[in-house]
Amino acid sequence: MAFGGFTDEAFEFYEGLQADNSKSYWTAHKETYERHVREPMTELCAELEEEFGAVKLFRPFRDLRFSKDKSPYKTHQGGHTSEGFYIQIDADGLMAAGGMYAPTPEQLSRYRAAVGSDTPGEELQAIVDDLRSAGMEIAGERLKTRPRGTPPDHPRLDLLRHRSLYAHEGWPADPWMMTPEVVTRVRVSWRRLRPLVDWGRRHIGSPA
């Protein structure tokens, strides 16, 4: 079935879940989640699959094993491709992203080696600058200081501080969200993010 848009019920569902993150709320509104969140997200991802690959939707349940926050449910529905494209819906609207989210120690080592080298490092800096100029936010976990052995005057010190690196943009839950225009906007965003995703694939390996 073709994607037709998200309804107000999708955003209202997450507003309610933020206020009452409990099993009783989830049970009472599970049908709303399935019909107005999970199903349209599945349809949206199917529209994008031919160009960007299959999107795996995350489970709605939080992993509580190592978390002080024992809220059982995620307050968003996210999904990602094997290359590193990401999409998410929550109470505020929709977000599209791409990059390196949770690298293994080996991937992080390869990332820093590439950023520290002139040609791939300069290429990544240009990509990041272009994305920022296009209005995207550059994000990711960062060291407060600098990686061991990195000189303080390194020209790409800011990039070397990153332990994860991705770019994203988002849209509020405006009326156009109820239309297939969502597909176009996500597609345009992911195409803009492709240079960053491709750089990571070449120099870091598959995202973790």
Gyration radius (Cα) of the chain, Å: 19
Number of domains in the chain: 1
d(CA 79, CA 96): 10
Between vectors from CA 64 to CA 80 and to CA 102, what angle results, nearest 5°? 35
SS3 103: coil
Neighbours of 147 (CB within 10 A): 17
Between vectors from CA 198 to CA 88 and to CA 40, what angle results, nearest 5°? 25
Among candidate residues 77, 81, 126, the one with its CA nearest the CA of residue 99: 81
For residue 7, CA distances in Å to 38, 47, 119 come to 12, 18, 46
For residue 114, CA distances in Å to 21, 89, 94, 122, 127 come to 42, 33, 32, 9, 14
Contacts of 57 (CB under 8 A, 6+ apart): 38, 41, 42, 45, 77, 78, 79
Neighbours of 169 (CB within 10 A): 19
DSSP H or E stretch at residue 90: strand 85-90
Provide the CB-side half-sphere exposure for 54 (13 A, CA). Answer: 3
> How do residues 26-82 score in pLDDT, each as one tens digit?
999 999 999 999 999 999 999 999 999 999 999 999 887 877 888 999 999 999 999
pLDDT higher than threshold 90 for residue 1: no
Domain limits for position 106: 8-203
Query: Is 84 inside any structural domain?
Result: yes
> Which amino acid would we find at residue 20?
D
> How do residues 5-20 score in pLDDT, each as one tens digit?
999 999 999 999 999 9
Q: What is the mean pLDDT of residues 100-120?
A: 94
Q: What does residue 157 show for φ and ψ, rounded to 5 degrees?
A: -60, -40
Query: Is 1 inside any structural domain?
Result: no
With bands split at pLDDT 50, 70 and 90, how would you rate the model's confidence at 207? low
Q: What is the mean pLDDT of residues 90-118?
A: 95
Query: Is 135 inside any structural domain?
Result: yes
Q: What is the pLDDT of residue 63?
A: 84
Query: Is 2 inside any structural domain?
Result: no
d(CA 86, CA 16): 24
Q: What is the pLDDT of residue 206?
A: 67
d(CA 198, CA 53): 13
Query: Is 15 inside any structural domain?
Result: yes
Query: Is 193 inside any structural domain?
Result: yes
CATH of the domain at 23: 3.30.930.20
N-term to C-term CA, the chain: 30
> How do residues 135-184 score in pLDDT, each as one tens digit?
999 999 999 998 888 888 899 999 999 999 999 999 999 999 999 999 99
